[in-house]
Structure formats: structure tokens, C-alpha cells
Amino acid sequence: MWNHLQGSETPTLHLTMARWLGTRHGKADTKLLLMAFRAAGKSTVLGLFCAWLLLRNPNVRILVLAAEFELACKMVRNIKRIIERHPLTMDLKPARLEQWASDQFTVNRSVVLRDPSVLARGIGANITGSRAEVVICDDVEVPNTSDTPPKRADLRSRLSEIDYVLTPGGLQLYAGTPHSYYTIYAKSVRPEVGETAPFLSGFQRLELPILTPGGVSRWPERFPETDIADLKRRHGPNKFSGQMMLRPVNISAGRLDPDRIRPYDAELIYMDRNGLATLTLGDVTLASASCWWDPSYGASAGGDGSVIAIVFTDRNGGYWLHDIRYLRVDSTSVVDEATQQCRQVASFLRENRAPSVNIEVNGVGRFLPGLLRREMGLAGIGGAVVERSSHQPKDVRIVDGFDALLAAGALNARRAIWETPFVMEMREWRPGGGYSGPDDGLDAVSGCLLSEPVRLPRAPRAPSQTWRSGGATYRAETAFEI
């Protein structure tokens, strides 16, 4: 009816959204997610839905949240215009103009309530004292709220306040498109950021990408196939995938793609056969190892962290990122921070049978080699401690370490690595001095990749032996005489 009054046709796409909202509301579903491609008319349909809710129950209170206050006000103005002009809702408009503001308004209702019928707020606003039966989250995830890990954490924290605003049995309705691989709309868990369940777990979802599974436009009158192809060409595959196909990706293409890493589940197996030690991952015999520790003291938000990593190589030139550890210290312990870290490093070396460790001695690292040697000796751990100085900028080292291996598909990583911040660092990292996000794991792994692989020497039977193949002795019988 509304579109007819406006002299326009109703796209099938909008009917699909409206029918889904009506059906879910009729079934008393209270957690809804509507995902549709950019410029699909989500906000128009949501405005009609809100007006419909007020028509059915004028006493309902609706809180509209958006990334910016101005965007939330735009939604409120849309609802106001519908109520003013739709023949079924005209009687809801109050006589007093002070109840009819641009950022909030109150319709004619039978009860006296402290909160207005519809209220607009930006996601950064204080909503502690508000109460509502319906909360509409319209495009709360945009680049300004999701392009860095701290912003994404802040967004999730603010959205969690909705639980205290909603009345019992209230409706949460999210509408938007993903702007990050770590989007709030993701279906699957992102363990590398500490998730144990998707942020919107339990929500009923309707996803409407611009193309159907058969490759047909969902709104051919507005987006014919030629225009869709042009959009993809002009905006690039990443932005098109995220904004038009609703696939969680980083909108700006990163230099390092973790999807090029091949995961594996094998664990290290140490064997001693006739005095010859070998180390394998599944059926792959390892030939050398490189371990790198990039230390830091007193790491805080925005500062460098202390990270150690180990990479093995096989006889065929394959690289195996087997372990990475982000060191943590107990500030209340009587043991000093440096010693705590050295003990963790010693434990890491023992667990991974590392023959040596490289320590970056720029800055704070210069005092650690001696302390680490002491802790390794006390723990009965053999191995060399090699002091290294880095003279290249960090972003150059990272590019040099990863670029060729990722391009060749030669880098493998144990599946447990995906449960650490390392994979997120890869997706987020950008070369150049302007990047300020976390990259300590990348720096440690690039150090492993760039350092000369350590050939594991044959050691005495106690405490350990080399597992490098070809290290055994052989006595040849000859007939040579002088």
C-alpha cells in the first residue's frame, strides 16, 4: 500500500524482507538478523516494519541504534513520514509538536511512559537509562566501527548493553552488511579472537546477497547483470564479496592471506633407531628448525608483545609453522617479569625439541640471552642461544619473510595456530608505516623464516640426539695400501 501511494512498484526483494519480518514476529522470535546487499532498501523496509509495530501496539517503545547518530535520526525521520502520510497510521500523530522531534517522537498512546515511542541513538551514546520493547540495530557495523580490533571489541561491548535496555521478551533486530572478516554477523566462530560462539548465535537469519545461488540478480530492475559486473570491476573482489555477496572478508585487500597457508594436525614424533634420532610430522621427516623470540617488557594495549615461534623445514623445502606462543606474565608474582618470560621460553624449547633459539636483542632483548641460558641450564634443557639484531624496518622484514612462501604455497601451519591471534594479525596487517595494529606474531614468524635454518647436530645420547638424517657415521672397507 505504501509504495502504491508513492507511485512506485514493490520489488520482490522488499516483499521477501517484509514477509520474513512479519512471519518471524508472528512466531514471537525475538532475535533477528536481516542481511541484504548495499542499496537493497533495508532501511525503507525497516521503517515500514516499525510503523506497523506502532499501528498494532501504540504503547511499544522502539530504540534505533546506528553507527552514527545522524544515521539513526534518518531512520526515525523515515518512520515519522510513514506515520504522517500512511492512511492507516495518521491518527497516531500527536497534536503537540514537542512530541514530534527529528531524533525522537511519541505517538498517541494509552499509557504514560518515560521513554518516547521511537528514539534515535548513535552506537557510542549512553543508553543506560533507556527501556524499549524493540531495538533496531541498523548498520551499526561500518568501517569506522570495525576496521581495527579495538574498534570491534568496543562495538561488541556497546551492543551487549542492549540486554539491559530490552524489556522481557523484547525484540532485537540487526540489519546490515559485513565490513570485516571478524564481523558481528559471522555464522562461524573466530577462535583467534577468543570467540567460543558467533556474536549473534541463536539469531534467526535472512541473507539476501545481490546474486542468487544460480547467479541471477535479486533486483534485476535496479541491478541488471551488466551493472553488477561493473560494480565488481570498479570496487574489486573483496569489497564486492563483503558488501554485495555478504561474505565476511576484509574490505581492503591485505598483503598477507592466511587462506594460502595449508593447515595440518600432525604432532611431533621423536624416534631413536640404532643411535640415529629423527623428528617427524606425520610421514614428513624434518630436516632443520628455526626458532625466534621477539621479546618485550610491560606490553600494554598498543605496545609490542613478547612472542616466540618455531618453524621446521623438511627435505623438500616445505616450511612448517608448528607453534607460536604469546608470552604472558603475572604482575603479582615475586618472580621478575624477565625470568618469567625466560622460563616460558625454556618450556617452549623443550616441548618443540628446538636445538636453538634466536633472540632479537634490539632494545630490551640485549639483557635476556644470559638470563635465558641460566634458566635453560636450571631446567636441564640443551640448546644454543643466538643473539640477533634487526636492522630493517619491521614491515619490510614481514614482507620479505612471507611473500615468496605464500605465493608458492610452501607454508604449512598446525591447526592450533588458528586459535591464536596470529591469523587475525595476518588478515589485518598492512605494509607501510601507517599501520598501528598488532603484528608481534608476524614479526616472530618472519624472523624464523628469514633466519638461516639450523641443521640439527648429532648430540651425545644424553640428554638428546640429532634427528637430522644423514648424521650417522659409516666405516668403509677399502683395499688401498701404501
Residue 236 lies in a domain: yes
pLDDT recorded at residue 459: 45
Q: Specify the higher pLDDT residue, 323 or 363.
A: 323
Flag whether pLDDT at 290 surpasses 90. Answer: yes
Question: What tens digit of pLDDT does each residue of 92-151 get?
Answer: 998 887 788 889 999 999 999 999 999 999 999 999 889 999 999 999 999 899 988 889
The pLDDT of residue 452 is above 70: no
- Domain containing 291: what range? 258-455
Q: Do both 16 and 157 map to the same domain? A: yes
Q: pLDDT per residue over 136-194, tens digit each?
A: 999 999 989 998 888 999 999 999 999 999 999 999 999 999 998 899 999 999 888 88
pLDDT score at 113: 92
**Least-confidence region, from 52-66, 181-195, 421-435:** 421-435
Is the pLDDT assigned to residue 324 strictly greater than 70?
A: yes
- 369 and 270, same structural domain? yes
Rounded Cα gap, residues 62 and 323, in angstroms = 49
What is the average per-residue pLDDT within 319-336?
92
Residue 455: per-residue pLDDT: 42
Instruction: Tell whether 428 and 326 lie within a shared domain.
Output: yes
> Is residue 11 assigned to a domain?
yes
Query: Residue 463 — pLDDT band, cuts 50, 70, 90?
Result: low
pLDDT at residue 469, rounded to an integer = 60
Does some domain include residue 460?
no
Q: Identify the pLDDT of residue 244.
A: 94
Select from 243, 271, 294 the last residue of a domain.
243
More confident residue, 266 or 236: 266
- Would 462 be classed as within a structural domain? no
Q: Is residue 467 part of a domain?
A: no
Identify whether 369 is part of a domain: yes
Domain boundary among 243, 273, 308: 243
Q: Answer with the one of 218, 243, 268 that is the final residue of a domain.
A: 243
The answer on 8 and 75 residing in a single domain is yes
Q: Are residues 323 and 291 in the same domain?
A: yes
Predicted TM-score of the model (pTM)? 0.73
266 in the same domain as 231: no
User: Does residue 407 sit within a domain?
Assistant: yes
Mean pLDDT of 399-403: 88
Phi and psi angles of residue 2, each rounded to the nearest 5 degrees, phi first:
-60, -50
Domain co-membership, 264 together with 191: no
| 186 against 482, higher pLDDT | 186
Given this model, what pLDDT does residue 433 score? 63
Q: What CATH number does the domain containing 161 carry?
A: 3.40.50.300
pLDDT score for 297:
77
pLDDT for 460: 47
Are 62 and 119 a contacting pair, CB within 8 Å? yes
3 state SS for the chain: CHHHHCCCCCCHHHHHHHHHHHHHHHCCCCEEEEEECCCCCHHHHHHHHHHHHHHHCCCCCEEEEECCHHHHHHHHHHHHHHHHHCCCCHHHCCCCHHHECCCEECCCCCCCCCCCCEEEEECCCCCCCCCEEEEEEECCCCHHHHCCHHHHHHHHHHHCCHHHHEEEEEEEEEEECCCCCCCCCCCCCCHHHCCCCCCCCCCEEEEECCECCCCCECCCCCCCHHHHHHHHHHHHHHHHHHHCCCCCCCCCCCCCCHHHCEEECCCEEEEEECCEEEEEECCEEEEEEEEEEECCCCCCCCCCCCEEEEEEEECCCCEEEEEEEECCCCCCCCCCHHHHHHHHHHHHHHHCCCCEEEEECCHHHHHHHHHHHHHHHHCCCCCEEEEECCCCCHHHHHHHHHHHHHHHCCEEEEHHHHHCCHHHHHHHCCCCCCCCCCCHHHHHHHHHHHCCCEECCCCCCCCCCCCCCCCCCCCCCCCCCC
- Using the predicted structure, report yes or no on whether residue 87 has a pLDDT greater than 90: no
Mean pLDDT value across the chain: 88
How many domains in the chain?
Answer: 2
Q: What is the CATH number of the domain that holds 446?
A: 3.30.420.240
What percent of the chain lies above the pLDDT cut of 70?
89
pLDDT at 4 over 70: no
pLDDT level of residue 195 (50, 70, 90 thresholds): confident
Q: Taking 70 as the threshold, does the pLDDT of residue 300 lie above it?
A: no
Is 461 within a domain?
A: no
Across residues 7-34, what is the average pLDDT?
Answer: 93
Same domain, 184 and 269: no
